Structure 1
Amino acid sequence: MANQVEPKLISPLYEGLQKERFVTLATIDHETGGPNVSAISWILAKDDSTIYFAVDNRSRILGNINKNDKVVINLIANESTYSIQGDARVKEERLQDVPLKLALVEVSITEVRDVMFYGSKIITEVQYDKTYDKNAAEKLDRQVMDAMKKA
């Protein structure tokens, strides 16, 4: 059975990307030319063809995107694993109304592929816990997500 391929986010993925969540992001390393994978959580589907994410201005991700704009976001949702390919660009060098120096990256989706191995489904999704001040973390997360929604 071939993996399902779509040109944009299906509804459960769009809905799943309306809040902060764990995903991995693959870029092409600007120095080595090899793959580079990072874990991020400030991510938002702006619409079914566009994803925003926020990263620190000093992140290697930005240097990678500036040299090669091709990215893949790996998302576990909807009882499966998805590879979301797209072209990335820095939309804002400094995200407004956020105390940290974060860049806003826009990804124009080119392909969404269900990459779960045959005959299986995800029965529990990745969960994580912020290990620093819980109140500060919640406040910062709200500020970042709100700023991305306004962008």
Structure 2
Amino acid sequence: MANQVEPKLIKPLFDELQKERFATIATIDHETGGPNISAISWLLAKDESTIYFAVDNRSRIVQNIKNKGEVAINVIANETTYAINGNAAVKHEKMEGVPLKLALIEVKINEVRDVMFYGSKITQEPEYDKTYDKAAAARLDTQVMEAFRKA
């Protein structure tokens, strides 16, 4: 059913956010004040009210969140599309146990909306392929997810 609103992650969505996946994040641009949308893949639901994600600590996403922490994360899962709105803050400028300079961002969830248009469902979730060294990518993905769980 479209347009359900919850104050936290529902169990099926929480479960889907226990692994790396494609998502988009909308922030408020620190220079223009307008919307800024980026694709991310390193995210994890820490609990039903908190999401962690990681990005290069020089990313515009980090600058935007430091200026204004309101964010919306769009996730396609469970045959639908969710908008997860919350307040984000930089938890760590550099994640421990990860060789890249990744910032750990913590999002405290305000609401979760099922935003799929009426009378429809997603029949295939987005897929992506890492275009650099597959072994290095897998190693880095494991390091990031382990760092999330320790944070």
- Is the TM value for this pair above 0.5? yes
SS of equivalent residue, structure 1 residue 38: strand
User: Per the alignment, in what secondary structure is the counterpart of residue 62 of structure 1?
Assistant: helix
- 1:30 lines up with 2:30 in the alignment: yes
Task: List structure 1 segments (4+ residues) > 2 angstroms apart after TM superposition.
Answer: none
Alpha-carbon distance between aligned partners in 2 of 1:39 and 1:150, rounded to the nearest angstrom:
24
* 2:80 paired with 1:80: yes
Q: Provide, for residues 14-65 of structure 1, a one-character-per-residue CA deviation record: whole Å limited to 9, x for no partner.
A: 0000000000000000000000000000000000000000010100001100
Report the aligned-residue RMSD: 0.9
1:125 aligns with 2:125: yes
Structure 1: gaps of 5 or more residues: none
SS at match of 2:81: strand
Deviation at 1:138, TM superposition (A): 0.2
Query: Do the aligned residues in 1 keep the contact of 2:2 with 2:114 (CA within 8 Å)?
Result: no
Identity of aligned residues (%): 72
SS in 1 for 2:66: helix
Aligned to 1:9, what secondary structure does the other structure show?
A: coil
Q: Residue type of the partner of 1:109?
A: I
- Equivalents in 2 of 1:81, 1:3: separation in Å? 10
Contact residue 2 and residue 115 of structure 2 kept, 8 A: no
**Could you tell me how far 1:3 is from its partner in structure 2?**
1.0
Aligned residue number for residue 94 of structure 2: 94
DSSP 3-state at the match of 1:139: helix
Secondary structure of the corresponding residue to residue 113 of structure 2? strand
Report what 2:21 is aligned to: 21
Q: Deviations over 1:92-123 (max 9, x none)?
A: 11100000000000000000000000000001
